[in-house]
Amino acid sequence: MQFSKWVSDLNWRLLVILFSSLFLLLLYFSNYGAAGVIEFSLRKPPYTAAEEIRKSELTKSRIAVCLVGGARRFELTGPSIIERVLKEFPNSDLFLNSPLDSKSFKLSLLKYAPRVNSVRIFKPTPIPETESQVRVLTAANSPNGIQGLLQYFSLVEGCLTLIDDYQREKGFTYDWIVRTRVDGYWSAPLSSGSFIPGKYVVPPGSSFSGLNDRLGVGDYNTSVVALSRLSLIPTLDKLNYSQLNSETAFKAQLISHNVSYQTPAQPFCIVTDRKYPFPPGHFDVPVAALSSPGPLSGAKCRPCNPACTGSCVADVMVGLSKGWSWTPWTNTSIELCNAHSEWEVGWEEMFDEAAGKKLAQFRKRVNTMNVKQCVKDFKQMKKKAAKWDTPPLEQICKLGLGPKQ
């Protein structure tokens, strides 16, 4: 019969379609093999309807992303910032404020940023210490004393200055400022839920008696209070604050200006070369494996073969001082490194596996970069920028890639 033949033909076609889609699906997942698993499970591109709406609202607003700090391991952190902060909000303008050193050449990776606005790479000079700064701040637990704090505060406030200069010239105000660090590794995208009108959003944990100051997201007005780290010291002095570290000063700034804050978890960690005791004691700093599922909310991390997982993590975290270096955790969110010595042999492969093929390519690119390539990349980046205030490109590139002195 014609009809039954037609039906069985149809079934056969359906089967072909079914199997080929299954095959494609399998192919898709195998692409995300061992290296991509973490990225895949964290990125969750199908946002909820509410998230989609919020994201599209934000995509129509004016966002400044302020990136501060030394380039250090930017071949590891930079690509994650480009992919998961800058490209996540492709309308955002990048403002970079970074001290010149032998690693600054790595910042040429920012030629891949969707929008580059202002770039400032400067030779650091000592900041004279004023009486009010000496009264308000403490050198305790700061690797370079009060001078170290002032350098950091000046770096952060310098980014606000770049933003203000541009705004004044163009006659507009950014709706949002995202303040983040050059040494932050993002394991998943910055969430649109972190943009809350009238509130300043900072990460939970790593609060050192104050507020975690490793990331901040706020509207323009709250950001001005949060980023004016040097110029608000005299105000804190008048209010009789003293013995402040970076985190307690940060909290005092917000409180004294009636800026309320929220602390949603954040999917980034601060990549550090520093060594820390292991296992960490009550006031020690835990160092997470960069491959931890997270969110790590700005805890310190490095690529490692975790020395401490499962119940070991619980033992360490319960022992940490809650108001100091403690960070929120679950028994699956964080794995710890033994960070008492140098990064271990084979860290490159560990990083590549955690970060996935795409990010690993950038690491390799920086690894094989020469002065010529570096200058070329910086030139491309400069073409995108509205403001460029750096030493000569050759000089930045030769400092890290030229013949050793």
Ligand X SMILES: *[C@@H]1O[C@H](CO)[C@@H](O)[C@H](O)[C@H]1NC(C)=O
Per-residue binder mask for ligand X (CB under 6 A), 330-369, x = binder: -x--------------------------------------
**Closest CB to ligand X among residues 257, 382:** 257
Q: 148 or 198: whose CB is closer to ligand X?
A: 198
Tell me how many residues contact ligand X (CB under 6 A): 9
Residue from the set 148, 310, 346, 392 that interacts with ligand X by CB under 6 A: 310
CA distance 192 to 297: 16
Of residues 240 through 259, those in contact with ligand X by CB under 6 A are: 240, 257-258
Distance from C-alpha of 217 to C-alpha of 157, rounded to nearest angstrom = 15
CB-nearer residue toward ligand X: 125 or 311:
311
Interface pattern 257-286 for ligand X (x via CB under 6 A): xx----------------------------
151 binds ligand X (CB under 6 A): no
- Residue 139 C-beta: closest distance to ligand X, Å: 22
Q: Count Cα atoms within 13 angstroms, Cβ side, for 84.
A: 25
Residue at token pair 């590891």? 76
3-state SS of the chain: helix, strand, coil percent to 5? 45, 15, 40
Which residues lie across from 98 on neighbouring strands?
A: 121
Q: Which is nearer to ligand X, 42 or 312 (CB)?
A: 312
In the complex with ligand X, which residue's Cβ is closer, 171 or 403?
171
Only one residue has tokens 């030779």, namely: 123
User: Among residues 38 and 313, whose Cβ is nearest to ligand X?
Assistant: 313
Nearest to 102 by CA among 371, 381, 291: 371
| Residue 54 CA: distances (Å) to CA of 59, 222, 299 | 9, 20, 27
The CB-of-161 to ligand X minimum distance in angstroms stands at 18
Cα→Cα distances 257→219, 249, 312, 362, Å? 15, 12, 41, 42
For residue 62, state whether it binds ligand X (rule: CB under 6 A). no
311 touching ligand X, by CB under 6 A: yes
Q: Which amino acid is at 50?
A: A
| Ordered strands of the 300-302 beta sheet | 184-186, 268-271, 300-302, 287-289
Site string for ligand X, 191-220 (x = CB under 6 A): ----------------------------x-
CA torsion, ordered 122, 124, 126, 132, to nearest 10 deg: 60
Nearer Cβ to ligand X, position 235 or 380?
235
DSSP 110: G
Task: Name the site residues for ligand X (rule: CB under 6 A).
Answer: 219, 221, 239-240, 257-258, 310-311, 331
